[in-house]
Structure 1
Amino acid sequence: MTTKDDVLIVEDSPAIGMLLKNYLEKLGYSKIHTCTNGSTAIETFKELANQDRHPIVLLDYMLPDMDARSILTQLLAIQPNARVVMETATEKDDEGIKELIRLGVYQYLEKPVRFENLQSIFETIEKEQSFFENESEQIKTLNQEKREDKKKTHELIDLILRSSKQISLNLLEQMIGFSDDSVTSYLKELEDNRKIIQIGDKKELGCNQCDSVKITQTFYCPSCKSSNFKLGKLIEHYDCGNISEENTYVDDKCPSCNKLIRALGVDYRVMQNHYICNNCKGFFSEISSDYLCLKCENKFKLEEGRWKTSKNFKVVNM
């Protein structure tokens, strides 16, 4: 029987956090941790990771101290395969949500939370965990004999394809551990049987240390290198030159000189979509980023990566 993982609830509403905790306890989860802000959540996640535990994270999209992108980036830097379920009332096709999904959000949970949807997500996680625990043992066994036994190689490829919707030849070969004609000929056989279809070539960024194409992006402050940042608006007061967050201008008064700001474009300007570092208080129109290899955990710059192109396949009926 699969052991249930820890759960980390990151929710600024104590009432909602308690409802989620009570419901998950009914589903059999006993190791539940709750946090009301991003910084505490990251520290708690780090402590669990240091104990070789892999918590499932329920992350509220809007928190008082940090934005979801900053928190997600730091969680993935600690544990590249972290399962983060995003809770938000924002539509799934919103560009901000789409970006978080591209960065590595595991699932999207619409607010107000419907418990049957939450149960469905956790049941999926349990099934995947059980599958990959069994798959890991099977892959180890199959890898020992893959070069000697073509049938075992085919079983290994089938196993990987069943857990994929799309996969590149580069990634497939890395997962099975070798590349030769037997792989491409078997993929051709699967194509002929309409089990997979080729959907063109795929160019992927590869690690400059191990060549793996399992890569994610991490983001940080250009000044102090902290990942503790948020996206927000700034206001520049022309009269005294003060630039600070919108919420510091209480009652339309400049926090530096205490004068009223009246006319946009005359007294002040609004600087949209700037990144504000919670550590050094710097602000930037663009954030710095590195790429993190999920295989060897090597960090590198975009220009340092190795671009790799291979055929891309869609799994139709495995």
Structure 2
Amino acid sequence: MSEKNAVLIVEDSPAITLLLKNYLGKLGYSEIYTCDSGGSAISTFEGLASQGKQPIVLLDFMLPDMDARSVLTQMLEVKPDVRIILETATEKDDEGIKELIRLGVYQYIEKPIRFETLKNIVETIESEQSFFEKESNENKLAEQSSDEIKTKIKNHIDFILKTANQISLDRIIGLLGFSDDLVTEYIAELENKGKLIKLDEKKEIACNQCDSVRTSQIFFCPNCKSSNFKLGKLIEHYDCGNVTEENTYHDDKCPNCKKELKALGVDYRVMQNHYICNNCDEFFPELSTEYLCLKCENKFKITDARWKSSINYKIINT
């Protein structure tokens, strides 16, 4: 039996952390790291990556010090092929969850966590690991029998389709890591069985170096360029001009002048959904962004991107 991956649990609930750690231990995982904040998670992840490890990450959607998108961004910059399992009580149809999935989250698991679901996900990651290694997949396939090749391709495509409602042919090929007639043959087979519905062509951002559509947006502070940020609520006190996070206003008093806040719109205003940089303490309604190629690790701006079009499919889950 091959050695299992390390696991990094990023969860601020000690009870959930303990349950996850005990269960993963029963599955045979011995190298398990736990963090209760985004900052400690990034440091631990960087340390593991520097040792050549490829940890599976269980990431809580809500963390006390950092936005989940910030954690995702920083981990992707360290290892673009990181497998992150997002755990949250929020519905999958929530726009925030869907955005994280689009940006590079590998899988999504609902709270309360069903351990059988977690088992299926981590077992799939382990079994798929060698297939997604950076060595030539064509060479690996050449060493296998025709039946083995077909089975592997079908299993990989089936798994990819479970993670999306719609997906393009270019995206499937990008996730597989190679193009082959067997891929298009199996897609056509699924279409004939009514498991896929062909839609119009989809235009997607592609890397300006390797042409891959496996890209993710990377977000950072417009002021200091750090990706260490969180989404928060700010309060501006009109009398003294103080603008700080809501949690700095204790007992409805301004942390700067100590005056009591009485009337919303008269004494103060609330600034919803602002990003607060943990490094420079500046705040912004929008973050700066660029793109990261998850295949060749090239970074590029939207103005420098290539665009590719391919057939888009709707997945019919029955």
CA contact (8 A) 2:57 2:83 kept: yes
- Cα displacement string for residues 206-243 of structure 1 (whole angstroms, at most 9, x for unaligned residues): 10111111111111111111111011111111111111
SS of equivalent residue, structure 2 residue 272: strand
TM-score (norm 1): 0.83
| Deviates most, 157-166 or 1-10 | 157-166
CA contact (8 A) 1:275 1:283 kept: yes
CA contact (8 A) 2:153 2:183 kept: no
One-letter amino acid of the structure 1 residue matched with residue 119 of structure 2: F
Question: Partner residue of 2:256?
Answer: 256
Say whether 1:225 aligns with 2:222: no
- State the superposition RMSD in angstroms: 3.3
Question: Partner residue of 2:79?
Answer: 79
Query: In 2, distance between residues paired with 1:172 and 1:109?
Result: 22
Alignment of 1:266-285 (within 5 A): 266-285=266-285
Question: Partner residue of 2:306?
Answer: 306
Q: Percent identity?
A: 57
Match of 1:127 among 124, 129, 150: 124
CA contact (8 A) 1:164 1:315 kept: no
One-letter amino acid of the structure 2 residue matched with residue 87 of structure 1: E
Distance 1:273 1:207, change over 3 A: same
One-letter amino acid of the structure 1 residue matched with residue 311 of structure 2: K
One-letter amino acid of the structure 2 residue matched with residue 50 of structure 1: S
Question: Partner residue of 2:59?
Answer: 59
Tell me the CA shift for residue 92 of structure 1: 2.6
One-letter amino acid of the structure 1 residue matched with residue 45 of structure 2: F
Tell me the CA shift for residue 118 of structure 1: 2.7
Alignment of 1:280-299 (within 5 A): 280-299=280-299
Tell me the CA shift for residue 291 of structure 1: 0.7
Query: In 1, distance between residues paired with 2:290 and 2:277?
Result: 17
Query: In 2, distance between residues paired with 1:297 and 1:9?
Result: 25
Tell me the CA shift for residue 151 of structure 1: 11
Select the structure of larger CA radius of gyration: 1
One-letter amino acid of the structure 2 residue matched with residue 141 of structure 1: N
Query: In 2, distance between residues paired with 1:118 and 1:184?
Result: 32
Distance 1:69 1:156, change over 3 A: closer
Distance 1:28 1:220, change over 3 A: same
Tell me the CA shift for residue 86 of structure 1: 2.1
Distance 1:282 1:85, change over 3 A: same
Query: In 1, distance between residues paired with 2:36 and 2:243?
Result: 29
Tell me the CA shift for residue 32 of structure 1: 0.5
Question: Partner residue of 1:41?
Answer: 41
- Cα displacement string for residues 80-129 of structure 1 (whole angstroms, at most 9, x for unaligned residues): 2222222222233222222222222223333333xxx2343233332343
One-letter amino acid of the structure 1 residue matched with residue 118 of structure 2: I
| Deviates most, 88-97 or 217-226 | 88-97
TM-score (norm 2): 0.83
Question: Partner residue of 1:213?
Answer: 213
- Cα displacement string for residues 169-188 of structure 1 (whole angstroms, at most 9, x for unaligned residues): 44566667579xx7899589
Distance 1:15 1:107, change over 3 A: same
SS of equivalent residue, structure 2 residue 3: coil
One-letter amino acid of the structure 2 residue matched with residue 109 of structure 1: I
Query: Structure 1 stretches of 5 or more lacking a match?
Result: none
Query: In 1, distance between residues paired with 2:274 and 2:37?
Result: 21
Query: In 2, distance between residues paired with 1:299 and 1:25?
Result: 37
CA contact (8 A) 2:7 2:31 kept: yes
Distance 1:19 1:168, change over 3 A: closer
SS of equivalent residue, structure 2 residue 247: helix
Query: Structure 2 stretches of 5 or more lacking a match?
Result: none
Distance 1:104 1:257, change over 3 A: same
Say whether 1:243 aligns with 2:243: yes
CA contact (8 A) 1:2 1:129 kept: no
Query: In 1, distance between residues paired with 2:187 and 2:87?
Result: 42
Q: Give the length in aligned residue pairs.
A: 308
One-letter amino acid of the structure 2 residue matched with residue 139 of structure 1: N
SS of equivalent residue, structure 1 residue 77: helix
SS of equivalent residue, structure 1 residue 223: coil
CA contact (8 A) 2:160 2:172 kept: no
Question: Partner residue of 2:138?
Answer: 140
Distance 1:139 1:44, change over 3 A: same
